[in-house]
Chains A and B, each alone.
Chain A
Amino acid sequence: MTTTSASLPAARERTRARGRAEPFLWGLVGVVVLAIALQVVPALGIVNPQFFPPLDRVVVAFAGELATPAFWSALLATLYGWLLGLAIATVAGVVLGVLIAGIPIVAELLNSTIEFLRPIPSVALVPLVVLLFGISMQATLVLVVYASLWQVLIQVMYGVRAVDVVATETARSYHVASWRQVTRVIWPSILPYVFVGIRLAATVALVLEITGELVIGSPGLGKQISLAQTSGAVDTMYALIWVSALLGVVVSIGSRAAERRTMFWHPSIRGEV
């Protein structure tokens, strides 16, 4: 995206650079204003600093956390659960999506079931998974997989429906084996949908991972947050909340970048200059 060919006139190059710089500079202003507000508002007593400590105290608490092994093992547990859940949901979503949407009669039969199951709030399953798996990583993993599976599945099903009819009919008239039809015709054309699904699922999976830890008490950042809350370590609680937000930002930027990297050949990405 950043590569601009040398033949472009220098003037255009400059306006382009300014066009990119302006959002960045104002964005910086926004973040700085936010940081100042987070510091000044509690310091002046506009909100109770006991409930909402000023930024400097949160930063100190954050630095303190960095030195504790508990923080690092919680962070690792969260990342591990997130990645494992996302991987399972992706594989299951792709396989199920291709099977369901690829066979029209199955799609018709399962449509109502999918439409009914999808709006069920994932957290409704919390008591069930606690009964089945106890306060463990698996309990949270089930929640993560359940919630993020839908994201991948729905996208893949859209993708399969959008496969070029000429391509599939051609493959069929040449008697291409159905396995090869899947790998050579369907797979390349649903790939962008798969990536959108993974990107959406990545965010959902992280939210559910931390939610599960918070509500169920399985190891991870969410559990640390609830520990900090019950022990009255308000500074630490806010520091951990910011860490989880930062993790979310990294995941969403990272998955977008990964999509661009791997999908550079696809028209939907190439068009986006």
Chain B
Amino acid sequence: MRRRTRPLRLRIVFAVAVPIAIVAAWQIVATARPSLYWPSPLMIVQSFGRTWLDGMIVQDVLPSLGRFVVGYLIAVVVGVVLGLLIGSFRRLRYAAEPVIDIFRAVPPPVIVPVVMLFVGIGDDMKIIVIAIGSVWPVLLNTVEGVRGIDEVQRSTADSYRVSPWRRYVRIALPAATPQILVGARQSLSIALIMMVISEMFAATNGIGFNIVQFQRLFALPEMWGGIVILGVIGVVANVLFTFAERRVAAWHFGMQESR
């Protein structure tokens, strides 16, 4: 299976052919046989301008995104800091591993009712829920990354009496970065799911809240619009993450390519 490289124009055609075909087929079927549940792409787009792009973007989409970003960043920071600590002490790691395994096995959406007991249904509930739900992949991967530090690096740091702080920032963190990024990518999709779930449970605004509202009102093109928005956010978040990843760990990817 040799990989032939095609000219760019042909590659673009290949990339858009199937999506266009799907949308076109959907449009044709939906016009030929209108169904309440499957509004045509055209109807979805039309309703989009009336609702999601008109006011809702400030009232609902931006608050959702804000909670998503804040919760996710908290998860990454907490996961990396705790992971560096746990990963650096062998016995602490042995003791922490089963505990982390238990907490990680809790289906993340289940923590929504728990957090609701403590802090009600405000923004803080959603941020906490997003952070708790998505912290585990970062934490576990950081621990693994620190564990895998080159033995020579470690003993060199020992013999030069590198201070603990510098040891974390200069040795452990860079060494664990590729692994941390793997975890951070997994966390990203969990954070998005938690954003939606927390809003479906109890909220007064947000994308998840409105999708459910539209469904209850049988405003199906609008509901579909919300699903499309979530899809776009998922794709964009992934693309942005890839960009950031290339930035943060340019040296790592350079090494991989030269291999």
Interface residues in chain A, defined as those with a beta carbon under 8 Å from any beta carbon in chain B: 22-23, 25-27, 29-31, 33-34, 47-48, 51-52, 104, 108-113, 115-117, 119-128, 130-132, 161, 163, 165, 168, 206-207, 210-211, 214-215, 222, 225-226, 229, 234, 237-238, 241, 244-249, 252
Contact = CB atoms under 8 A, between A and B. Distances in A.
Nearest to B91: A26
A245 B215 contact: no
Per CB-CB distance, the 9 closest pairs between chain A and chain B, nearest first, are A248-B105, A30-B95, A119-B234, A26-B94, A127-B215, A112-B15, A124-B230, A120-B231, A229-B113
B255 interface: no
Given A113-B19, A211-B197, A245-B103, A119 B214 contact: no
Interface string B102-140: 111111111011101110000000000000000000000
A244 B107 contact: yes
Contacts of A115: 235
Contact of B196 (A124, A161, A226): A124
Given A112-B19, A131-B37, A121 B189 contact: yes
Chain B interface secondary structure, helix, strand, loop or mixed? helix
B101 to A, nearest CB: 6
B200 A215 contact: yes
A31 B37 contact: no
A117 B231 CA distance: 7
Contacts of A161: 1
B98 interface: yes
Contacts of B227: 120, 124-125, 127-128
Interface string B220-243: 100110110011001101100000
A168 B1 contact: yes
18 contacts: A26-B95, A30-B95, A30-B99, A111-B14, A119-B231, A120-B235, A123-B197, A124-B230, A128-B227, A207-B108, A211-B108, A215-B201, A241-B114, A245-B103, A248-B106, A248-B107, A249-B102, A252-B105
Nearest to A105: B14
B118 A51 contact: yes
Interface residues of B, number: 55
A26 B14 CA distance: 55
B105 A210 contact: no
B97 A27 contact: yes
A119 B201 CA distance: 22
Interface in B74-105: 91, 94-99, 101-105
B215 A131 contact: yes
